[in-house]
Amino acid sequence: EKELIHYLVKAAGNNANLLMNVGPQPDGEFPAAAMERFRAIGKWLGQYGETIYGTRGGPVAPRHWGVTTQKADRLYVHILQKEDEVLFLPVPGKTIRSAKTFIGKKNVEYTVVPGGIALNVGEATDAIDFVVELELQ
């Protein structure tokens, strides 16, 4: 489940599609394990779909820690593997209006630095995908 969601998020952050080739069994039914995984992905998308549907890869190139997606004035920072307490996001020329956790809408501290921002992700959990929503001006 976690691995498939990571594939989906990375595909979105790379301006790509994710195709999952699952065919029916001889009895016409889809494998139970595949259906279980699809339901888990659907449940995750029920919460995080806004950060995936209708987005494009964000201005920050994919990194070891994850990817960014963007829709209009919203930049979504998908942290798939937390590496540091602070992430440098090279977003020159962008003004950040706010930074909040996508789930819970808690403020996330950030500092404007030359060439971008330093985003404090110290409270990033070991969730499947910890998302920070940046509102751009």
Per-domain boundaries in the chain: 1-137
**From residue 95, how far is each of 3, 40, 52, 58, 79 by CA, in Å?**
33, 36, 22, 15, 21
Q: Phi-psi region for residue 54, left (φ > 0), alpha (ψ -120 to 50) or beta?
A: left
pLDDT score, position 92: 80
State the helix-helix crossing angle for 2-13 and 32-48, rounded to 10 degrees: 50
pLDDT score, position 15: 96
The string over 11-21, giving b where at least 16 C-beta atoms fall within 10 Å of a residue's C-beta and e elsewhere, is: bbbeeeeeeee
Domain 1-137 in CATH 3.30.420.40? The answer is: no
- Taking only the tens of pLDDT, the chain with its 137 residues reads 899 999 999 999 999 999 989 999 999 999 999 999 999 999 999 999 999 999 999 999 999 999 999 999 999 999 999 888 999 999 888 899 999 999 999 999 999 999 999 999 987 776 899 999 999 98
Q: Read off the tokens for 72.
A: 């209009």
Q: What is the pTM of this model?
A: 0.92
